[in-house]
Amino acid sequence: MKTLLLGDVSPTASSAPLFTAQDLSALFGDARSLFEKRDFIFVNLECALTDSENEISKFGPHLKAPKETSNVLKALGVDCCGLSNNHVFDCGIDGILDTLRALQGAGLGYTGFGKNYEDSRKNYTVEKNGERIAIVAVCEHEYSYALENRMGSRPYDEYDTMEDIRNAKKDHDRVIVIYHGGKEYSPYPSPRLHKLCHAMARNGADVVLCQHSHCIGCYEQYENCHILYGQGNFHFVRPDIERDSWHTSLAVEYDTLNHEISFVPVKEVGERGIGLAHDAEKDAIMTAFAARNQQLQNGEWKQGWHDFCQEKKDIYIKAIERACLADSTERENSRFAHYLDCEAHTDVWRELFPSYNLTNETEERAIEWNF
């Protein structure tokens, strides 16, 4: 099966009018060639498709887009939208119901969302050409995840998710895991994310794609599993953002039959669309990607992750300083609670503030072990 797996799609203030007009040429340019001759196409829908003003309480932006976005995706050839992410519930129940109606109205499948936690754990199965493929889409704990008694996105669980992968492998030829998590803007995984992706591979995943970081990360093959730590945005055009990493991504081409994977660099074009990267721009993206892949192999990625966390230290110190004081606001306390709830934030906490057990007796020295 020839599959195309894409990162975040979220119409913005600059691109939304083109989604409303369903102008595929202006929106996707020569990137439309990616969609040709595919047996299955997946995108992460990083927003609600709604007009609702019912915004949930959260930190960060509320993302919503025209309902016509579903028609655009269908016209491109998309088969399934991932809804396990931290923005699809930004407009609450009204917003997600509008989203589901828009997807169903366009004839699009979706996965990673349910009426409660157990319901959200349903996989998406693709059957074609005699093959049976499972999509397991999960997200970290940030705003939208399902609860025992409330609808939401399918959250990653260190026990249940591994069981879900094992069970999927029993009756599917391939298992593709879409993991919406990791620290935003970090081109390297945290030690926790690196370890859990390896665990997913050992439990039966054939491909693990980490999204959410808004940048291209690094790749490795472990236990015959393809792992990409950071795919970048696919169509999330923000000309106001100065980070170069925001404006590029990797489209993933995966052949389920022969287990071959390839990466196609994509970039923003102008202020409203995207296209394929060519020539020097393509070479620069892929050269930097290859260098990070090498760092993943030789261990240098750990220093890269540490340096990234150090750059964010003041943000986390401020969250600590302003929480649980006599004059702390509800929002200041909630920020601290959010940083404890979300795995990506706790990864940074652990890197910045190691416990004594991580520092006691760690100096290099020869130890004779004779008992």
In this prediction, residue 326 carries a pLDDT of 94
Q: To the nearest whole number, what is the mean pLDDT of the chain?
A: 96
pLDDT value at 366 more than 70: no
- CB neighbours of residue 187 within 10 Å: 23
CB burial class (10 A; 0-12, 13-18, 19+) of residue 213?
buried
Q: Which residue in the block uniquely carries the two structure tokens 């090498």?
A: 294
Return d(Cα 214, Cα 194) in angstroms, integer. Answer: 18
Question: How far, rounded to the nearest angstrom, does the alpha carbon of residue 46 sit from its chain's CA centroid?
Answer: 9
pLDDT in tens, 174-195: 999 999 999 999 999 999 999 9
Which band of pLDDT confidence, cut at 50, 70 and 90, is reported for residue 361? Answer: confident
Which band of pLDDT confidence, cut at 50, 70 and 90, is reported for residue 235? Answer: very high
Return d(Cα 118, Cα 324) in angstroms, integer. Answer: 34
Return d(Cα 100, Cα 83) in angstroms, integer. Answer: 10
DSSP element (H, E) containing 48: strand 48-49
pLDDT value at 68 more than 80: yes
In this prediction, residue 368 carries a pLDDT of 72
In this prediction, residue 363 carries a pLDDT of 74
pLDDT in tens, 294-333: 999 999 999 999 999 999 999 999 999 999 999 999 999 9
- The mean per-residue pLDDT over the stretch 56-67 comes to 96
pLDDT value at 371 more than 90: no
pLDDT in tens, 202-218: 999 999 999 999 999 99
Return d(Cα 215, Cα 182) in angstroms, integer. Answer: 11
pLDDT in tens, 23-35: 999 999 999 999 9
In this prediction, residue 370 carries a pLDDT of 76
CB distance 189 to 220 below 8 Å: no
- The mean per-residue pLDDT over the stretch 113-117 comes to 98
Q: Which residue in the block uniquely carries the two structure tokens 């909630």?
A: 334
Report how far apart the first and last C-alpha atoms of the chain are (Å, whole number). 57
* 2-9 vs 248-255, strand pairing mode: antiparallel
- φ, ψ of residue 188 to 5 degrees: the values are -125, 145
